[in-house]
């Protein structure tokens, strides 16, 4: 039986994954790009901050190759892949007011905070529109403490399709597996998928009939929900049309989905589903929120007893707890790289046409002013981004400049991203991309 609560949660998630059927000229140009062009981007944001001492080797304060550098212990799983990464230190997010979290401002490059709706489209969603189009251009998944993922299986805090248009993260891997791979599933998963599809089709029909009595001021908002159901149901139909293809990539549906002992079981399951959607070509942008942009989170499966906000009040350098969490993240990054390297694409592999962006939605720490916001880029984005490098910025360029650089890398250049001339005059020392990152 599908309970009303479950149906409502599914509705919210469906609205969150709505996509526009219209392609802009920019999208058309990106879709016809050359074989070597970038095709997908992955964002991985860890909450509670990213202390530069955990990713920048002590004493390193100038641009250089990583070839002769030993990476700090927290990111040591990346040591064998130094030639494939670019570490950036010294960007800022002073204008985003990150504090506990910049929320939508982390990927939007604008002021964020608890209860503040998105001001504009975030960079991950912009890229999902501009990269070659897929069945589900943008997928967001969120990792948290197990009780939080069960009680709030969808949450919107990091990604947005525009002003006042948050995008939901999926945190229950069973729901996500059912949505994406339900057409090829069997047993209870298949039954739940079919029941949910039937309910949502009925709700869509009812919703289309319900806007008449509403005041004109509310009809536009109501229509977004109708469009959400329509697009969500359309997604199910499109997935059903490629069911034979999906069988090649569906992750193993095992005990970590059904009987998680720790939240890390679900973290791993979510990652597996995310990787499967990339390998199957279902999505071109994957956004992962570890801690879901908030102040919570738990990693008991790593032997970390502490959880939630207290983790943000611990110094990260030389802290065995944060070494475990950061290394766990890096192992996830390595797994994504290896999985994408295993799939041929064009004259190389999927990873050759992919960029992974790793950072935090909290800049360098909890209760930060955002003066320093480290990033690690993995992959060369189709040969557009330098790798095997460390770049030390002077603190005068904002995270928006990095996002501008990403737009240049995919062939959709802009002078600025989400920053008007007035704001740029105060917070950005240059116009355009960060040249030190461009190949």
Indicate the domain borders of the chain: 23-174+246-437
Q: Residue 353: what pLDDT?
A: 97
Higher confidence at residue 190 or residue 255? 255
- Per-residue pLDDT averaged across 309-321, rounded? 94
pLDDT band for position 240 (50/70/90)? confident
Q: How far is CA 145 from the centre of its chain?
A: 18
- Per-residue pLDDT averaged across 206-224, rounded? 58
- With pLDDT > 70 as the criterion, what percentage of the chain qualifies? 80
User: For residue 246, is pLDDT > 50?
Assistant: yes
- With pLDDT > 90 as the criterion, what percentage of the chain qualifies? 73
User: For residue 12, is pLDDT > 50?
Assistant: no
- Per-residue pLDDT averaged across 17-42, rounded? 53
Q: Residue 196: what pLDDT?
A: 57
- Per-residue pLDDT averaged across 372-378, rounded? 98
User: For residue 197, is pLDDT > 70?
Assistant: no
pLDDT band for position 198 (50/70/90)? low
pTM assigned to the model: 0.86
Q: Which of 4-13, 226-235, 295-304, 384-393 has the lowest mean pLDDT?
A: 4-13
- β-pairing, 285-290 vs 40-46, is parallel
- Nearest CA to 155 out of 47, 237, 285 is that of 47
| Cβ neighbours around 80 below 10 Å, total | 10
Cβ–Cβ under 8 Å, residues 207 and 223: no
User: For residue 439, is pLDDT > 70?
Assistant: yes
pLDDT band for position 235 (50/70/90)? confident
The token pair at 328 is 């766990």
Q: Residue 244: what pLDDT?
A: 85
Q: Residue 9: what pLDDT?
A: 39
Q: What share of the chain is helix, strand, coil (3-state, %, to 5)?
A: 45, 15, 40
Cβ–Cβ under 8 Å, residues 291 and 144: yes
pLDDT band for position 72 (50/70/90)? very high
Q: Residue 231: what pLDDT?
A: 56
pLDDT digits (tens, 9 = 90+) for 57-69: 999 999 999 999 9
What is d(CA 98, CA 398) in angstroms, rounded to the nearest whole number?
13
Q: Residue 204: what pLDDT?
A: 46
Q: Residue 33: what pLDDT?
A: 44
pLDDT digits (tens, 9 = 90+) for 92-141: 999 999 988 999 999 999 999 998 999 999 999 999 999 999 999 999 99
- List the alpha helices (DSSP H) in 78-172: 104-108, 123-130, 146-151
Residue 36 dihedral angles phi and psi, to the nearest 5°: -85, 0
- Per-residue pLDDT averaged across 334-352, rounded? 96
Q: Residue 16: what pLDDT?
A: 38
Check: CATH 3.40.50 for 23-174+246-437?
Answer: no
What is d(CA 422, CA 433) in angstroms, rounded to the nearest whole number?
18
Residues 6+ apart with CB under 8 A from 328: 264, 299, 302
Q: How far is CA 136 from the centre of its chain?
A: 14
pLDDT band for position 183 (50/70/90)? confident
pLDDT band for position 161 (50/70/90)? very high
pLDDT band for position 179 (50/70/90)? confident
Q: Which of 113-117, 153-157, 232-236, 382-386 has the lowest mean pLDDT?
A: 232-236
What is d(CA 255, CA 265) in angstroms, rounded to the nearest whole number?
9
User: For residue 227, is pLDDT > 80?
Assistant: no
**DSSP-assigned letter for residue 352:** G
| Cβ neighbours around 355 below 10 Å, total | 24
Q: Residue 190: what pLDDT?
A: 58
Q: Residue 37: what pLDDT?
A: 87
- Per-residue pLDDT averaged across 406-428, rounded? 96
Q: Residue 24: what pLDDT?
A: 35
Q: Residue 15: what pLDDT?
A: 37
- Per-residue pLDDT averaged across 325-352, rounded? 97
Please, what is the average pLDDT of the chain? 86
Question: Given the structure tokens 């248009």, which residue do they identify?
Answer: 165
Q: How far is CA 185 from the centre of its chain?
A: 26
Q: Which of 19-23, 275-279, 306-310 has the lowest mean pLDDT?
A: 19-23
What is the helix (H) or strand (E) element at residue 226, kind and residue range?
helix 216-241
Residue ranges with strand state E in 291-370 = 344-345, 348-349, 354-360
pLDDT band for position 242 (50/70/90)? confident
Cβ–Cβ under 8 Å, residues 405 and 434: yes
């Amino acid at each position: 039986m599908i309970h009303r609560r479950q149906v409502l949660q599914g509705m919210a998630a469906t609205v969150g994954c709505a996509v526009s059927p219209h392609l802009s000229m920019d999208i058309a140009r990106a879709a016809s790009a050359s074989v070597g062009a970038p095709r997908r981007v992955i964002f991985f944001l860890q909450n509670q901050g990213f202390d530069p001492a955990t990713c920048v080797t002590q004493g390193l304060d100038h641009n250089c190759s990583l070839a002769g550098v030993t990476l700090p212990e927290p990111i040591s799983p990346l040591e064998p892949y130094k030639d494939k990464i670019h570490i950036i230190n010294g960007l800022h997010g002073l204008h985003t007011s990150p504090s506990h979290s910049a929320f939508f401002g982390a990927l939007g490059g604008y002021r964020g905070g608890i209860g503040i709706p998105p001001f504009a489209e975030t960079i991950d969603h912009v890229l999902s529109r501009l990269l070659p189009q897929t069945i589900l251009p943008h997928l967001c998944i969120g990792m948290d403490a197990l009780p939080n993922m069960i009680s709030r299986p969808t949450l919107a805090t990091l990604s947005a399709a525009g002003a006042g248009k948050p995008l939901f993260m999926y945190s229950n891997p069973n729901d996500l597996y059912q949505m994406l791979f339900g057409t090829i599933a069997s047993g209870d998963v298949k039954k739940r998928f079919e029941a949910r599809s039937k309910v949502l089709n009925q709700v869509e029909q009812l919703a289309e009939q319900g806007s008449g009595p509403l005041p004109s001021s509310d009809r536009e908002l109501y229509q977004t929900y109708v469009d959400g159901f329509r697009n969500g149901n359309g997604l199910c139909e499109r997935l059903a049309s490629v069911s034979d293809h999906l069988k090649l990539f569906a992750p193993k549906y095992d005990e970590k989905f059904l009987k998680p002992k720790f939240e890390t079981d679900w973290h791993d399951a979510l990652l597996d589903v995310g990787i499967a959607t990339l390998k199957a070509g279902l999505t071109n942008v994957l956004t992962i929120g570890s801690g879901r942009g908030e102040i919570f989170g738990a990693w008991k499966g790593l032997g970390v007893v502490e959880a939630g906000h207290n983790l943000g009040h611990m110094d990260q350098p030389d802290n065995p707890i944060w070494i475990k969490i950061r290394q766990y993240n890096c192992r996830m990054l390595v797994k994504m790289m290896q999985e994408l390297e295993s799939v041929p694409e064009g004259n190389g592999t999927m990873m050759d046409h992919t960029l992974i962006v790793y950072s935090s939605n909290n800049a360098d720490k909890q209760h930060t002013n955002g003066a320093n916001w480290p990033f690690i880029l993995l992959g060369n984005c189709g040969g557009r981004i330098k790798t095997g490098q460390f770049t030390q910025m002077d603190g005068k360029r904002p995270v928006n400049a990095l996002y501008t650089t990403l737009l240049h890398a995919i062939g959709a250049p802009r002078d600025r991203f989400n920053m008007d001339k007035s704001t740029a005059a105060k917070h950005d020392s240059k116009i355009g991309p960060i040249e030190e990152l461009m190949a």
